[in-house]
Structure 1
Amino acid sequence: MHRIVIVGGGAGGLELATRLGNRFGARQTAHIVLVDSHPTHLWKPVLHEVAAGSMDPFTHQLEYAAQAHWHHFEFRLGALIGLNRSAKTITLAAVYDANGAELLPSRELAYDTLVIAIGSVTHFFDVAGAQQYALALDTVAQAQACHQRLLTACMRAQANLAQAAAPPRLQIAIVGGGATGVELSAQLRQTAQILAAYGVSPLDPKQICIAIIEAGPRILPALPERVSKATADLLAKLNIDIMVNEQVASVSERALLTASGKTLATDLTIWAAGIKAPAILSQLDGLATNPRGQLKVRATLQTESDPDIFAFGDCASCSWPEKKTTVPPRAQAAHQQANFLLRALTRRVKGASLPNFHYRDFGSLVSLGHFSAVGNLMGGIMGGNLLIEGLFARFMYTSLYRMHIAALHGFGWMVADTIAHWLRRSTAPKVKLH
């Protein structure tokens, strides 16, 4: 059977493996293998909610092995560390437990078609101290560490409250005014209010100061200016400071320094300033990459170097001719490319020619927690560009995650899952308190 190996179980990779498994694995007309360095999946756009404590990852994460069993594909645990194009094999790193004992040795997997979808990682831009002292949000573990740091700081403030000569305050700095930084700031403000209501934090929510530091002239630089302005106005109402045209020069354990000479004392620094392709991509047996480390792909999503290797999502540089640029690293792009590859790989297995991928921008949405949401709808939905905010925008934003669940499990299961989570949240705190 034709062997399709998909490396990367993110939003696009897992959706593609699930649907290919349903189409080919169930009928045993092709063998589908999914590879990932983690045993569980959580939709990456919700990691800021995990960091703020408003989402419990253990109730939302999905076991790859279970998904593979249900949808007729095979799962292999391990990180991609090598590629042999002539032998058509990839090499997976050894897997170790928490104590450093080897669970699985380094292995090789054969493929007929290889699909690389390993996403992106945080870009620290070589800022001194950033990688050491600032928290990133690439994984569930990092997001949970961020929440624990927040709770620890609140409890430390409670312990020092009696000795404090002045009312204590907690300073959180978020480096980067993109969607992740903006959404995280609002979620943290929401968390501050809830922690105070439950008595976990002795601080008035206004004493938890949140600042966004953006190197450019405005937040949300990738979105239309009116969306940026509307979002900035909403954040101002939440007492979230926005520092624009401020590039971070260095980060220390309790402060950060900007290029203009400003020093901001911090109790918690979170880095959301940008992303880059994983370093392994530039080491894969001659596959061509762009200056940002992304794999160069044709309109068919085949890599320029090898027609048997496809790449999509954040790790791929795909041309967007209508805008004379490349497809942006967004979840909607990965979803569209996964849908395209389902059709394209079906044709490839049958020996037919491949179509070309065309990206359609349906707009962007930014969630501000339970306070609001803002964004723009465009393209195929509206035929133009419409600014939306408030309840309707919040509903649209929530539906994006539910669409992802539906792609993995079907519409009926998604409805049941939505009801189950709603019932669970009705009898649980709004944020994790430990």
Structure 2
Amino acid sequence: MHSKIVIVGGGAGGLELACKLSRKLGAGQVTLVDSRLYHIWKPSLHEVAAGTLDIHQEGLSYQMLAHDNGFSYVYGPLIALDAASNSLTVGAISTDKGELLLPERQLSYDQLVLAVGSTSNYFGVPGAQENTISLNATEDAERFRLTLLKLLAMAEQRRGDAGHPGVDIVIIGGGATGVELAAELREASDVYAAYGFQNLNAIKDVRITLLEGAPRILAPLPERVSRAASKLLLQHGITVAADTRVTSIEPDKVNVATGTSYAADICVWAAGIRAPEFLSTLGLPTNRAGQLEVTGMLNVQGHANIHALGDCAACMGENGKLVPPRAQAAHQQADYLLKTFMLQAKGKPPQTKPYEYLDYGSLVSFGRTTSVGTLMGSLKGLSWFVEGFVARMMYVSLHLMHHNAVLGSVRTAVMAMGRFLIKRSTPQVKLH
């Protein structure tokens, strides 16, 4: 099978690029490769983990998106790349019982885009990989949710017994993912207590601890945002321990450098990311974090027809620092490559201006009613602090903007209305 443009990775940036390119170039020009069957906006995985978002309602089928936008979809993981012959190998797909569904397949391309995102970086902490759950993908979030339901059911049964009632949740990493998960879990625990777990006190019996190695949570953001976030977490009964370095993790506790141990029935690792390890096997240049080294034009060093975007790309900004692994960077890079490929298709000269990351600020969700964050102005260094309902509406709009890019405005509006109605006719958390 041959495709003019092959995009590997159906995350935010890769999927948006596939949809926009196909609508402009026409059917049969673009192929999307992904190891999963449906797409979830990764910043919403903390809601899936807490049970406040149902992946079976939220997930967008790649096959549907391919049909509607005109690209081809190939189901399977990238396992090998032959850059010299412009071809790649997509791995076989088997059932849980080992029955072969799809064999290995070969794809050739004129242009290749790698947009495979990131995975957790455990920094060599003993027990971290074995004894924690990381929200890298939907199956991780679902595993956390089902484990939490089981723990809540067990705690409900032993509530009147002497000893240790309740559930201890430890989240390692005070970045956006950790903070949002902590807030969402507290909100969800109130709902769980009302739906069948009536013997549990949400604050006393669902104990949430957030550990951060830096002096404050949300360290990359302005201090005012960090202070506001800490205040909100404390108001919701969440323990925040900053400047706390984790030294090891055991099945039932987290040990830190001060000698203290935190009881943990379930532990989430949200302390850092790195590029997927398989990238280092493709014969392309990578940095210490496993990211593909790219030029300012987003093509991989030494390969004019191989490009990378998003978390897996080590793109140097004008300030001499790597572009941060944020969704807005992936969106911007997808638009940059869209212009690159459209110029090629029209036979026009290529872009001469390298990609430039524009920071529009950051928003952190604290459940269904409030958010905090900063908005960046057009003047360098100018920013505004936002919080409350207005910030929450801005946060929600980011998700809608992503859906608009892949579904179009009419279907996004219908989906938003449908979600609004469904949430008022179903339980506020997923209970099965």
Number of the residue aligned with 1:243: 241
Show structure 1 runs of 5+ residues with no match.
none
Are residue 20 (structure 1) and residue 18 (structure 2) matched?
no
> Which of 347, 357, 373 is the aligned partner of 1:375?
373
Equivalent position to 2:330, from 331, 334, 351? 334
Q: Which runs of 4+ in 1 moved over 4 A?
A: none
C-alpha displacement of 1:381? 8.8
- The one-character-per-residue Cα deviations of 1:107-152 (angstroms, maximum 9, x if unpaired) are 2110110000000001111211111110111111110110111111
Whether the aligned pair in 2 keeps the contact of 1:360 and 1:379 (CA below 8 Å) is: no
SS of aligned partner of 1:310:
strand
Query: CA separation in 2, counterparts of 1:244 and 1:146?
Result: 24
Identity of aligned residues (%): 43
Letter in 1 for 2:306: I
1:121 to 110, 119, 126: 119
For residue 343 of structure 1, what is the aligned residue in structure 2? 339
C-alpha deviation, 1:382, in angstroms: 9.6
Task: Find the residue that maps to 1:325 and give its secondary structure.
Answer: coil
For residue 166 of structure 1, report the CA deviation from its aligned partner: 5.4
* Cα separation, 2, equivalents of 1:381 and 1:153: 50
Aligned residue number for residue 197 of structure 2: 200
Deviations along 1:66-93, one digit per CA (max 9) or x if unpaired, are 1111111100011111111111101111
Name the aligned partner's letter for residue 232 of structure 1.
Answer: S
The separation in 2 between residues aligned to 1:381 and 1:334, in whole angstroms, is 22
- Answer yes or no: is 1:186 the counterpart of 2:183: yes
Q: Which among 279, 287, 291 is matched to residue 290 of structure 1?
A: 287
Deviation at 1:161, TM superposition (A): 2.3
Displacement after TM superposition at 1:383 (Å):
7.3
State the Cα distance separating 1:392 from its structure 2 match.
0.4
Mapping for residues 113-152 of structure 1, pairs under 5 Å: 113-152=111-150
Deviation of 1:317 (Å): 0.9
1:51 equivalent in structure 2 = 49
* Structure 1 residues 370 and 9, CA gap change in structure 2 (3 angstroms): same
CA 1:238–1:201 in structure 2 vs 1: closer, same or farther (change >3 Å)? same
Deviation string, structure 1 residues 353-381 (Cα, Å, up to 9, x no partner): 23421111000000000352100000339
> Structure 1 residues 380, 96: closer, same or farther in 2, change over 3 A?
farther
Answer whether contact 1:155 1:201 (CA < 8 A) is retained: no
Equivalent in the alignment of 1:363: 361
Q: Does 1:300 align with 2:301?
A: no
Contact 2:246 2:255 in 1 (8 A): yes
Give secondary structure in 2 for the equivalent of 1:429: coil
Shift of 1:12: 0.5
1:352-431 map, 5 Å: 352-355=349-352, 356-380=354-378, 384-431=382-429
Separation of aligned partners in 1, 2:199 and 2:272:
34
1:167 Cα deviation from its structure 2 partner: 7.1
Match of 1:89 in 2: 87
User: How far, CA to CA, are the matches of 2:110 and 2:61 in structure 1?
Assistant: 26
Please state how far the C-alpha of 1:250 moved relative to its aligned partner. 1.2
Q: Deviations over 1:171-202 (max 9, x none)?
A: 10000000000000000000110111223352
- Match for residue 231 of structure 1? 229
- Opposite residue 296 of structure 2, the aligned amino acid is A
Structure 2 length as normaliser, TM-score?
0.96
Q: CA deviation at 1:247?
A: 1.4
**Distance (Å, rounded) in 1 between the aligned partners of 2:212 and 2:100:** 42
Q: Which residue pairs with 1:325 in the alignment? A: 321
Unaligned runs of 5+ in 2: none
SS at match of 1:81: strand
Letter in 2 for 1:255: K
Give the letter aligned to residue 25 of structure 1.
Answer: G
**Equivalent pair of 2:179/2:210 in contact (CA under 8 Å):** yes
- Name whichever of 260-269 and 4-13 sits farther off: 260-269
Q: 1:70 aligns with which of 68, 71, 86?
A: 68
Question: Are 1:154 and 1:202, in contact at CA under 8 Å, matched by a contact in 2?
Answer: no
Q: What does residue 30 of structure 2 align with? A: 32
